[in-house]
Homo-oligomer: A and B are copies of this chain.
Amino acid sequence: MKQACVFLLLAVVAGPLSAAEGMWTLDNLPRAALKERYDFTPDAQWVDHVMKASVRLASGCSGSFVSANGLVLTNAHCVLDCVQALSGPQSDYVNRGFIAHRREAERQCPSEELNQLEAISDVTERVRKATAGLSGQAFIDARNAETARIESECVGAAAATRRCDVVELYGGGLYHLYRYRRYADVRLVFAPEYRIGFFGGDPDNFNFPRYNLDMGLLRVYEDGKPATTPQFFPIRREGAAVGELVMVTGHPGNTKRQLTVAQLERLRDADLIDLLAYYSERRALLWQYGRQSAEAARQAQSDLTYTENSLKVIRGQLDALLEPALLAHKRMEEERLRQIAGALQPDPWAAIAQAQQVYRTLRRPYTLLENRRGFYSEHFRIARHLVRAAEERTKPNHERLPEYQDAALPRLQQTLLSPEPIYPAYEKTKLAWSLTKLREQLGVDDPLVKLVLGNESPEVLAAKLVDGTRLSDPAERRRLWEGGFEAISASTDPFIQLARAIDAPSRELRKRYESEVEAVENKQAATIARVRFAHDGMQVYPDATFTLRLSYGEVRGWQEDGRTIPPFTTFAGLFQRATGTDPFALPESWLKAQTRLDGQTPFNFVTTNDIIGGNSGSPIIDRAGRIVGLAFDGNIHSLGGSFWYDEARNRCVGVHSAAMIEALDKVYGAKALLRELVVQP
């Protein structure tokens, strides 16, 4: 008991936050810390400007406007899906890169959408009133219905250009309404060759020193013309000095810093270990599929990159949770909150722990069926949405599953009707493999497995489904989308039939997950959040929710095993690291430009900003709102950032502003783009 008391004392003394920690909502910036540490006091105009100059890519990244004509800066890896969709065996933009020297050459991304945050408002009271006294499924239903109503009212008749999301903050402690300007016509302007955009490939991913031109440019259009975007960031070519305040505005996807110890243990022992095995297997599947031919490799490239990236994230999170110090720290913080809370009935930590036990029994069928892990197939993804949307759209908006409510339909329709090609052999491979996972995890004798497989093997069934479907044809998808419930009921497409067959059991699993796990976690997390607000005030930030956040920090290296890692790399370092063999081979354009480039140009750099996946493409700005870099990664220690922030080692990795300008100029000859960007010394 002595040991525990010492810990507890430290906890109360130490206070809740590290310096530079936090992904802050724009309506609750860490003003005191910014003032004290950097003598910086952002005014309302500054905040409004950075909010409107920052954008979200609906596919999962961040970006920013860099001209008044809708030009958007983001990462190469954030536009890779678009580049791949526009490519074919004869036009391999993935490996050759893409640049539009004239506006007419800009090509529409088949399934991208950009969101620009316009306003935030607090709707906590409305949601709290609607859910008062409820629990389980009733709580979930009431919450979903009320958020649907709020979102509908907000969107009104402007669905094509407006998006409204009710965002749950602090695990349900607050509900905020985020209103966005929605841009659905997004065109590709520039993407470098894969070799330089992702130089070092998976081996260098989440590592530093680093040498990536991980930048891409998009442009948003309105009525067929470049949109007018007066709020944008100029670029400060010289970048930021070591120790200078820099801020990142972007959309961190997901952190788990407020989870209870029981939730973290469940995550470690149940989820992450399974995910590690799942993604490891999937990685070799895609790798070996790609070895057949250059075309096969191109087909699998985006999935493989995603898979390898996920694998590093999972491994990093698992390592963090296996680190005894992390859970000790979490236990300490939990004990602190328990002390503050006193006796609560029911005990929120105990209730959440109990829900984790329920989760463990539901987890496998839930992820396989409802999260489609047993059906790794683009056709099935489409079929699931068509089948569900057809049923959900017969209901009043507020009774639908959230992803089929009016606010979400424009983007859903866009992705479902995208002309992006689907490759049959690739689909068969992925689907056959994932069906073996379904059988393995649920067991041969599981009724759902029997329902899906019947007497077929995974391979034979996958081949029959892919050969028999017409869903590869966007016109057929449009027919089913527009035909609604009737068209779906009449369809004999094997994927539609499969999606229909497992829809009821899959919904049932979701219902159980939501009512027995999520509803409990949500209600109890809100209670814990209120305990925290009452004691710590608003000097806490919510877990990431893929909504706009600001983090502050500075350019700074770190210590690794006694060595000092300097904060900058240079072009000279790039040419030194290049071996001529992938993933360390340079594209021809760079080899040709080598003599023209200044080797001392800073290329990549690290900062102490607290970021996480979803922040990819975020601008790194100075206090004057000028871009000094482009966030594209974190170092390996940033992966523990899901659970805590470690200022000593957690680093954000960015492309330096000078490198972007120098490359556009000397490698790509992008004269028109350079004229459009506002570049300051």
B residues within 8 A CB of A460? Answer: 581
**A284 interface contact, C-beta 8 A:** yes
A287 touches B287 (CB 8 A): no
**A153 interface contact, C-beta 8 A:** no
Contact among B318, B582, B584 for A273, CB-based, below 8 A: B318
Contact among B202, B207, B269, B284 for A281, CB-based, below 8 A: B284
**A283 interface contact, C-beta 8 A:** yes
The CA of A277 and the CA of B284, in the complex, are separated in Å by 11
Contact among B285, B455, B581 for A457, CB-based, below 8 A: B581
* Number of chain A interface residues as a range: 35 or more
Q: A281-B280, A284-B433, A288-B289 are in contact. Are A269 and B322 (CB under 8 A)?
A: yes
The CA of A573 and the CA of B366, in the complex, are separated in Å by 31
Q: Which of A409-437 contact B (CB under 8 A)?
A: 429, 433, 436
Q: A203-B444, A284-B284, A433-B284 are in contact. Are A457 and B273 (CB under 8 A)?
A: no
B residues within 8 A CB of A579? Answer: 455-456
The CA of A280 and the CA of B318, in the complex, are separated in Å by 17
B residues within 8 A CB of A584? Answer: 444
B276 touches A278 (CB 8 A): no
B residues within 8 A CB of A580? Answer: 455
Copies in the complex: 2
- Shortest Cβ distance from A458 into B: residue: B581
**A35 interface contact, C-beta 8 A:** no
**Chain A 104-125 interface 0/1 with B at a Cβ cutoff of 8 Å (1 = within):** 0000000000000000000000
**A204 interface contact, C-beta 8 A:** yes
**A440 interface contact, C-beta 8 A:** yes
Distance from A636 Cβ to chain B, minimum over Cβ atoms (Å): 10
Q: Which of A283-314 contact B (CB under 8 A)?
A: 283-285, 287-289, 291-292
Contact among B203, B285, B322 for A284, CB-based, below 8 A: B285
B283 touches A204 (CB 8 A): no
Interface of chain A: mostly helix, strand, loop or mixed? helix
B residues within 8 A CB of A289? Answer: 288
Distance from A261 Cβ to chain B, minimum over Cβ atoms (Å): 14
Distance from A305 Cβ to chain B, minimum over Cβ atoms (Å): 14
B residues within 8 A CB of A455? Answer: 579-581
Contact among B207, B284, B433, B436 for A282, CB-based, below 8 A: B284
B residues within 8 A CB of A277? Answer: 276-277, 280, 315
B residues within 8 A CB of A322? Answer: 269, 273
A444 touches B204 (CB 8 A): yes
- Shortest Cβ distance from A455 into B: residue: B579
**A384 interface contact, C-beta 8 A:** no
Q: A203-B440, A440-B203 are in contact. Are A288 and B429 (CB under 8 A)?
A: yes
B residues within 8 A CB of A440? Answer: 202-203
B residues within 8 A CB of A202? Answer: 440
Q: Which of A584-643 contact B (CB under 8 A)?
A: 584
B residues within 8 A CB of A433? Answer: 284, 287-288
Distance from A606 Cβ to chain B, minimum over Cβ atoms (Å): 17
- Shortest Cβ distance from A308 into B: residue: B440
- Shortest Cβ distance from A318 into B: residue: B273
Q: Which of A190-219 contact B (CB under 8 A)?
A: 200, 202-204, 207
**A364 interface contact, C-beta 8 A:** no
B439 touches A203 (CB 8 A): yes
B residues within 8 A CB of A157? Answer: none
**A1 interface contact, C-beta 8 A:** yes
Distance from A452 Cβ to chain B, minimum over Cβ atoms (Å): 13
Q: Which of A49-84 contact B (CB under 8 A)?
A: none
A582 touches B457 (CB 8 A): yes
B residues within 8 A CB of A204? Answer: 444
B residues within 8 A CB of A287? Answer: 285, 433, 436
B residues within 8 A CB of A429? Answer: 288, 291
B residues within 8 A CB of A203? Answer: 439-440, 443-444
Q: Which of A553-599 contact B (CB under 8 A)?
A: 579-584
- Shortest Cβ distance from A636 into B: residue: B443
A284 touches B288 (CB 8 A): yes
The CA of A284 and the CA of B307, in the complex, are separated in Å by 14
- Shortest Cβ distance from A276 into B: residue: B277
Distance from A655 Cβ to chain B, minimum over Cβ atoms (Å): 20
The CA of A282 and the CA of B292, in the complex, are separated in Å by 17
B residues within 8 A CB of A285? Answer: 284-285, 287-288
Closest 6 CB pairs of A and B: A284-B284, A288-B288, A455-B579, A284-B285, A280-B280, A280-B281
A-B contacts, 27 listed (Cβ < 8 Å): A200-B444, A202-B440, A203-B443, A203-B444, A204-B444, A273-B273, A273-B276, A273-B318, A273-B322, A276-B276, A276-B277, A276-B280, A277-B277, A278-B280, A280-B284, A282-B284, A284-B285, A284-B433, A285-B285, A285-B287, A288-B429, A288-B433, A455-B579, A456-B579, A456-B581, A457-B581, A460-B581
- A-B contacts besides A284-B433, A455-B581, A456-B579, 17 pairs, CB < 8 Å: A1-B1, A202-B440, A203-B444, A204-B444, A207-B443, A207-B444, A273-B318, A273-B322, A277-B280, A277-B315, A284-B285, A285-B288, A288-B288, A291-B429, A291-B459, A292-B292, A444-B584
